[in-house]
Structure 1
Amino acid sequence: MVVITMPGSERLDALLLPAGLLVLTYGAWRVLFAAPIPYRLEKEPSSDKDGQPRLRKVPLPRPESTLWLWGNTLDTDKHHSHRYHDWLKDESERVGWRPWLLSMTGERPVIVLSTPEAFDDVLQKQSDIFEKGPLKRELMRDFLGDGIVSVDGELWRLQRKRTTHLLMAPSVFPFMAEVVEAQTHKFCAVVDALVAQQRSASLKKLLNSLTSDIFGHIGFGVDMRSLESDTSSMTLHPFMEAQEQAGVLLQARMQQPRWMWKLKRFLNIGSEKHGRKQINVMYSIVHDIILKCMARDPSTPRKDFLSVFLAQEQEREQKLDTTVVRDMAVTMFSAGQNTTAETMSWFIVMMNRYPAVAAKIRAEITDKLPALARANHAGVAASDVPVPSLDEVQELMYLEACLRESMRLNGMALNSRQAMKDTMLSDGTFLHYDVTFTFPVKGPLEVQPAHAA
């Protein structure tokens, strides 16, 4: 996890600290007295008169750095904000992978779960009890509206149904392949230009630009023009700039006590003021695109997601709510563009860390796609090398395994759920209604790069 800062926000945040002290008294009362204390049931060595094992309530452990009133706020902000995933893993390992409590100033403690059995309880056996919950929805709604990532229940099922119908449309997959091939050629042309000019560039930014152009075409039918052959003029589309800054706002919220970012939002200052402007820009652009799609001649077929979705809704004679369409479009674009760019970036990092694995990938390409390998050895410009077809790519099984392993090795965004009623996990951990918990990542501890084979 990275530390997020906003230009000029440091002074404003400092001014908010005195106001935060006023909230601290209420927060301390809520955490120490109003909030139920989570516990775990453990068997005692002795039995009762009926021969049944006695059970005792055991408070869940906390980090050794936990302070009265402040909880883990100061420790995480000062020492662990840059390694939050690793710190959660370290604490989980320290307590033997049992559930433990994470406390932030003015908030109820969050229970950290880290075993496959607990994941199974939450995500499968008792999935009807555990939802994203009002806290997570409030955190994300300004950014993603009522998209599938930020809703629960019937609205989530409706969004999932719409998304499934959209992805199953016969024209979607061939169109995606066509767009990926065209944008890959453009990406290679940019790389060729950088090589010819002997210039360095951020590969992460290039991959972000590539995925922006791909998902701009696939999602909206819009050319974002983030990748240009003239690398000196490479700029982000206004939608992409606004989306990136809105994402910064979301990260900033995740690293602050809830009362702080809500107070800044109410006062319209600091990171919340800047982020709100960017969200309005993003929503305005998408709304204009939706109106243009709705005004197009229906006899002219379009293959982008937005046009296909609008056509499907019109065929079903559904009344279109532009806000619902906007939220769905923004969510699908953000999820697809960000995850693809991050996956590709981490994969390149992993190939540099493990050259033996990279050598095996090259050997597989030479064996399965000899024409591509010959063009590479002959020094043909990257933009002149034909992009492999989908059928050819499916032959590269070791490459696919390495991509999957890279996704597993590098931590995803933290997942969290909220209990909608009192319940108990299979390990005896009792969860009160409204308690929030999160999942760290520990799987990579037992994985070796060679396992990709």
Structure 2
Amino acid sequence: MKLPSVLGRQLTSVHVTLGLLSLAAALLYSSSRSSKTKPAPNATKRVPYLPSLPILGNALDLKRNGHRFLEWLTEQCLSREGLAFTLRNPGRGDLLVTANPEHYEQVMKIQVDNFIKGKYVQDVLADVLGCSLMNVDGEHWKFQRRVVANLFSSRLLREHMTPIVQKHMKNLQNVFSNAATAGERIDAYKLMHRFTLEAFAEIGFGCELGSLASGQEHPFETAFDDAQRFVAVRSRGPVLLWKLKRWLNVGSERQLRNAMAVIDELVMSFISKAIERRQLRSEGDLTQILGKDIVSIILDSVESNGQVVEPVEVRDIAVAALVGGRDTTAGALSWLFHTLTKHPRVEAKLRAELLTKLPKLGESDDYVPSLEEVQELPYLEATIHELLRLLPPLAFTGRFCATDTVFPDGTFVPSGTSIWICYCGMARLTSLWGPDAAEFVPERFIDSETGAVLQFPPSKFSAFNVGPRICPGRTLAWLEMKIVVACLVSRFHLVEPPGQETPYSIGITVGMKNPLMVSVERVAAGTSAAAASG
């Protein structure tokens, strides 16, 4: 299964002018940094560099392959069978890239204290994520991790989150049902994002945006999408360029500031109301009911740790949870539905399992399976696993080496090195996944003898990370994905227009650059499992 292609981007003349000025300074800085390369200790091996040009380094390679960056990065990894290589990256210093599972485990789990987010990542993401779990290190991170661990307990998932997901699933299904009746095409990518935003807004803030039912985009939805897109613009350009634009308040930086104003106004209003309810209740007003939403749980956790409640910190945690819980799940669902249109065998086999094990899916549109019911669908789980393997929500993860580090294979990583773990490269290693590593084959996650789902070590299957930074909201993500896929695949068949292109876009997550337009065909009532599997 090839990575989806990506369309190139054009820069305005203003951006080019600013970019050239910024790049000139960056090249001098980068050249100075690269000339001070630290020698590797004895008995270790230094990671080799890609062929590069003096001063420019690999800038031309990156520019030439900008329209297909993930494909190019994956090709470099596979040509070295996952072994690490180093890019000379003007403006940011050297960048070590690896698709070696052992390196991944060392960075994210075993020697995790040596590898931090680093100032570059924190600067790029600060205006959206603030000082949140996804953007800090050290003791601050440990405190927030304890707080966030309380948000996704089994009890809350079962009693509070599942009913909300089921409710919004019915709204999503109505959109698909109406499209099937009217013979209209719909944008599945937008709808998946709208669904996850609606569900998380109620789970997180106790509010209903109403965009799924109304079909109208909520200003918060627009601002949230804009903010992530403009952060992606930052990550693609020289640091000096976006900082200059921010100082001048022009272009994408001005648009980012406007988007964040909308987001912060709404989120802070929810936080203020939650704090006010708690204050009134503490003063004896028992009519104030404390919610089970994430904001309320964060406030409980902060207070129980003896900390003073700072609304800005609550905001940072809540927004980070929204970023982690909305776009990753929506993107995975979108790519899965697109992939199923290209793999009718998998779609038919999946539908057969759904209609056999949960026959009520074919009997009533009002039925939405429970948390317990979707746990008993091994082929559904295997299909999602396989999608997340080949097209993970994060194509790579970056860290900054804070101290000289040596991996067990002797690879030396000097302090001050930026390192990328290339998940897309790992997923396509034949040494790891076999000769069909690049193919979409859910059966690789099924035990051929027992029919049970195979559990691979996190260092091999990396969709939710490994080690102390493993995704805290993965149980909610699994719940949403299983319920959405179960309800839609059992009842509808999606057809993409001939020739539709689905290039990816790289932001905080890997999304789709274009709408995912689909026609919706209802699966015939009473379809038997045998017919579905035929």
In the alignment, what sits opposite 1:143?
128
C-alpha contact 2:31 2:90 (8 A) present in aligned 1 = no
State the Cα deviation string for residues 123-173 of structure 1 (Å, max 9, x = none).
Answer: 233212111122211121121001100011111110110011232384453
Whether 2:116 is the aligned partner of 1:131: answer: yes
Q: Does 1:366 align with 2:337?
A: no
Q: Distance in 1 between matches of 2:154 and 2:111?
A: 33
Name the structure 1 match of 2:524: none
Compared with structure 1, are the counterparts of its residues 309 and 152 closer, same or farther at alpha carbon in structure 2 (3 Å cutoff)? same
Match of 2:63 among 69, 72, 77: 77
Segments of structure 1 that go 5 or more residues without pairing to the other structure are: 42-54, 376-383
**Aligned mates of 1:32, 1:176 — CA distance in 2:** 50
CA separation of 1:25/1:343 partners in 2, compared to 1, >3 Å: closer, same or farther?
Answer: closer
Does residue 328 of structure 2 align to residue 339 of structure 1?
yes
CA distance in 1, matches of 2:293, 2:6: 34
The aligned counterpart of 1:378 is none
Which sits farther off after the overlay, 246-255 or 24-33? 24-33
Inter-partner Cα distance in structure 1 for 2:338 and 2:416:
40
Counterpart of 1:156 in structure 2: which amino acid? W
TM-superposed deviation, 1:305: 1.2
Structure 2: distance between partners of 1:312 and 1:395:
33
- What CA deviation, in whole Å up to 9, does each residue of 1:250-300 have, x standing for no partner? 211221122222222233222112112212221122111111122225441
In the TM superposition, 1:233-244 aligns within 5 A as: 234-244=215-225
Q: Greater CA deviation, 164-173 or 111-120?
A: 164-173
- Render the CA deviation track for 1:110-132: whole Å, top value 9, x for unaligned: 01122122122222332121111
* Residue type of the alignment partner of 2:398: S
SS of the equivalent of 2:212 reads coil
| 1:288-299 equivalence runs, <5 A | 288-296=269-277, 298=281, 299=286
Shift, 1:316, TM fit = 5.7
Q: 1:68 to 1:40 in 2, by over 3 A?
A: farther
CA-based RMSD of the aligned residues comes to 2.4
> How far is the alpha carbon of 1:40 from its aligned partner?
8.6
Aligned to 1:210: 195
1:194 positional shift: 2.1
- Tell me which structure has the larger Cα radius of gyration: 1
> Residue 394 of structure 1 is aligned with which of 359, 375, 378?
375
Report the residue type matching 2:188 in the other structure: L
Q: Are the structure 2 counterparts of residues 261 and 196 from structure 1 closer, same or farther at C-alpha, using a change threshold of 3 Å?
A: same
- Offset of residue 227 of structure 1: 0.5
Partner of 1:321: 310
Q: Structure 1 residues 142, 38: closer, same or farther in 2, change over 3 A?
A: farther
In structure 2, relative to structure 1, the CA distance for the partners of 1:340 and 1:308 (3 Å cut) is same
Judged with a 3 Å threshold, the aligned counterparts in structure 2 of structure 1 residues 98 and 293 are, in CA distance, closer, same or farther, namely: same
Cα distance, 1:226 vs structure 2: 1.6
Cross-structure match for 2:14: 12
SS in 1 for 2:113: coil
The offset of 1:88, in angstroms, is 1.5
1:46 maps to what in 2? none
Change (3 A) 1:424 1:317: closer
| One-letter code aligned to 1:429 | T
Q: How far apart are residue 341 of structure 1 and its match?
A: 0.4
Superposed, 1:244-255 pairs within 5 Å as 244-255=225-236
Deviation of the 1:76 alpha carbon: 1.8
Separation in 2, partners of 1:218, 1:432: 43
Q: Name the % identity.
A: 29
> 1:89 & 1:39 partners in 2: Cα distance?
26
CA 1:99/1:317 → structure 2, altered by over 3 Å: closer, same or farther?
closer
> What is the CA-CA distance between 1:360 and the residue it aligns to?
1.3
2:410 is aligned with 1:428: yes
Partner of 1:381: none
- Secondary structure of the residue aligned to 2:86 is strand
Matched AA of 1:329: A
Does the CA contact (< 8 Å) of 2:332 and 2:392 recur in 1? Answer: no
SS at match of 2:240: helix
- Supply the distance in 1 between the matched residues of 2:127 and 2:110 (Cα, whole angstroms): 31
Q: SS at the partner of 2:233?
A: helix
Residues in 2 aligned to 1:127 and 1:402: alpha-carbon distance in whole angstroms: 31
Report the alpha carbon displacement of residue 342 of structure 1 after superposing the two structures with TM: 1.0
Distance 2:172 2:27 in 1: 55
Residue pair 2:26, 2:238 contacting (<8 A) in 1 also: no
| Distance (whole Å) between structure 2 residues aligned to residue 434 and residue 331 of structure 1 | 26
> Out of 42, 45, 48, which is 1:61 matched to?
48
TM-score after normalising by structure 1: 0.86
CA contact (8 A) 1:224 1:236 kept: no
> Hey, what does 2:426 align to over in structure 1?
443
Deviation (angstroms), 1:324: 0.5
Matches of 2:399 and 2:305 in 1, distance apart? 34
1:270 matched to which residue of 2? 251
Q: Which residue of 1 aligns with 2:387?
A: 406
Query: Structure 2: any 5+ residue segments left out of the alignment?
Result: 447-534
Q: Give distance in 2, aligned partners of 1:4 and 1:215.
A: 32
Q: Name which of structure 1's ranges 363-372 and 313-322 shifts more when overlaid on structure 2.
A: 313-322
Task: In structure 2, give the amino acid aligned to 1:327.
Answer: D
1:154 aligns with 2:139: yes
Distance in 2 of aligned mates of 1:40 and 1:317: 46
Shift of 1:317: 5.7
- Aligned AA for 1:451? R
SS of structure 1 residue aligned to 2:127:
helix
Is the CA contact 1:132–1:416 (under 8 Å) kept in the aligned structure 2?
yes
CA–CA separation in structure 2 for the residues paired with 1:24 and 1:194: 51
Q: 1:267 to 1:74 in 2, by over 3 A?
A: farther
The 2-side partners of 1:86 and 1:265 are apart by: 31
Deviations 1:291-349 (A, max 9, x none): 11222254414221112332444566642100100000000011101111011112112
TM-score by length of 2: 0.74
